Structure 1
Amino acid sequence: MCHSIQRLKPKPHLYIIFLLKDIPHSSPHTEIILIHSHHHHQSTTAATSTATTAATMLLRASPSTASFSLSTAVADNVNQFPSSSSFVSFSSQRRTDGFVMSVSKSESNNHSPVTGVVFEPFEEVKKELQLVPDLPQQSLARHKFTDDCEAAINEQINVEYNVSYVYHALYAYFDRDNVALKGFAKFFKEASVEEREHAELLMEYQNRRGGKVKLQSMLMPMSEFDHPEKGDALYAMELALSLEKLTNEKLLHLHSVADANSDVQLADFVESTFLTEQVEAIKKISEFVAQLRRIGKGHGVWHFDQMLLNA
């Protein structure tokens, strides 16, 4: 047993006595006894504060201790607040020359680490370090990204490009000199650009996750969109509505693939980038279809075209 006395403050009769008991490391126990005289008018609260300082010194002296908890007492009635793994208990006893406050530290069988001391980066990173590819043709950025998700993204890229291709054909049709509906031409050209941008966003995301973009072939779209009963304007807008709904179904399929592979990041990307916008596009074109059905094939189509042109 080792005894040491340390004066905390330049006040008489105020000492802390450390009793370091030589017992096995698996069950460390240390007591700190605070003794002060009746002549020193220090309250129990202040004494407890001093004992807390002593406990801090104990913690520094025994870094293996996981945590402490504070307990206060009057006479022999000890109120303890144990932690999950170890505790420091405070108790006080009156004496003729003052009182004695003891601070004891012990460890329970629960070895749960204190909050903030659970992450050992150099240990936990070892398994990730072994997964870093050495071959130059392998992606360094790829992480938790399955082949199914990679293939589904490439399929959606192809969908977006094909829809853009059809919209571009519609733009070319309405821009003809013998059709001359410039508003419809403008609308479908902007729609074509938007779908191409969606494809590019998917390509960027594919590269960001360490996948490989594989562009697929596209079929030649129609070049004539006139309909004997509906006319070209209504038929083209109904075709656009069908394409937007088809695109929405494909996006939902991509989202389901992400869910099936527990790819939260891909699911979030699809939700935040495409799904809300897709619902808005379907609603907008649905209104156009309803309005064109009211108009018919007559003079009203030209007024609708002017509305699109000036939008």
Structure 2
Amino acid sequence: MNTGSCSSNSLHILNVLSNNSSRFAIQASKEDDTRSIPNVIFEPLEEVKTKLHVIPAEPQASLARQQYNEQCEDALNEQINVEYSISYVYHAVHAYFDRDNIALKGLAKFFKDSSVEERQHAEKLMEYQNIRGGRVKLQSLLMPLSEYDHIEKGDALNAMELALSLKKLNNGKLLDLHQLANENNDAQLTDFIESEFLADQVESIKKISEYVAQLRRVGKGHGVWHFDQMLLKEAVAAA
């Protein structure tokens, strides 16, 4: 038996095993890990060094703002104005039906509640604007009408058709805002609009559509008083 040859072969095998194992061994040192498994280890302290410039030093600048496009910020301010404007109109309609010579208390309450709801939507949008680091810029409101009677339709149907039109207009504005958020890859804004507004808008449009259909059936006479009483009962049941 050639011990020299055996020793040489054994040494060769050990070298092969050693070379092969080095390719699969889990290295203990931090430096070897980062070289052996690139783009896997997360080093927050190293990465944040390259992003320190993202945090503004100016006292007027928002510290919370992140990936919030200026187009979305401006559109959100426009939607705040839409909500306040519609609330303003509803409040004027409430005042009309609350007059002593009109005295339709159910319609008056319906439009007052609608006004409060739209104002709350505006406030919710303002709060969101601040959360995202935007700047709330309130705009002017146009004076709404004070008279809502109509020769053919009567005041109740005329006002409810106006409410339906405003609901659809508002829903369209919210969908435009949602589309703009999608185009700017703002997932947080799209989720906010979907979860806080869109479902409620669809339900409200359906509800007011039914009111319009009912008022078209009852005409301008005594049936309007019964419809008004129905609104009062619904308000009491919902309270």
User: Given the two structures, how large is their TM-score scaled by the length of structure 1?
Assistant: 0.66
**CA-CA distance at 1:277 after TM superposition:** 0.6
* CA–CA distance in structure 2, aligned partners of residues 144 and 227 of structure 1: 49
Partner of 1:122: 45
Q: How far apart, CA to CA, are the structure 2 residues paired with 1:61 and 1:219?
A: 71
Q: What letter is aligned with 1:254?
A: L
**1:266 counterpart = 2:176:** no
Match of 1:156 in 2: 79
Q: Does 1:184 align with 2:184?
A: no
- Alpha-carbon shift at residue 113 of structure 1 (Å): 4.8
For structure 2, the 5+ residue unaligned runs are 1-13, 235-239
Residues 125 and 61 of structure 1, relative CA distance in 2, 3 Å threshold:
closer
Which residue is 1:298 aligned to? 221
Shift of 1:60: 6.6
Separation in 2, partners of 1:61, 1:272 = 48
Match of 1:141 among 58, 61, 64: 64
Q: 1: CA distance between counterparts of 2:22 and 2:180?
A: 58
Looking at structure 2, the residues matched to 289 and 63 of structure 1 have their Cα atoms a distance apart, in angstroms, of 72
1:212–1:30 CA distance, 2 compared to 1 (3 A): closer
Structure having greater relative contact order (Cα 8 Å, sep ≥ 6): 2
- Larger Rg: 1 or 2? 1
168, 183, 188: which is aligned to 2:91? 168
Deviation of 1:124 (Å): 1.8
Q: Which amino acid aligns with 2:176?
A: H
Q: How many corresponding residue pairs?
A: 221
> How do 1:218-237 and structure 2 match up within 5 A?
218-237=141-160
Q: Which has the higher helix share?
A: 2
Query: Secondary structure of the equivalent of 1:213?
Result: coil
How far residue 200 of structure 1 moved from its aligned partner, in angstroms, is 0.3
Find 1:256's aligned residue among 179, 182, 185. Answer: 179
Query: Does the residue aligned with 1:258 lie in a helix, a strand or coil?
Result: helix
Give the aligned residue type for 2:90.
Answer: Y
Identity %: 66
Instruction: Determine which structure has the larger strand proportion and give its number.
Output: 1
Distance 1:205 1:137 in 2: 18
Deviation at 1:261, TM superposition (A): 1.1
Deviation at 1:257, TM superposition (A): 1.1
Alignment root-mean-square deviation, CA: 2.7
1:208 equivalent in structure 2: 131
SS of residue in 2 equivalent to 1:243: helix
- Map of 2:169 onto structure 1: 246
Deviations 1:207-264 (A, max 9, x none): 0000000000000000000000000000000000000000001101111111111111
Tell me, in whole angstroms, the C-alpha distance in 1 between the residues paired with 2:56 and 2:31.
38
Deviations 1:131-160 (A, max 9, x none): 100000000000000110000000000000
Instruction: Give the deviation of 1:29 after TM superposition.
Output: 4.0
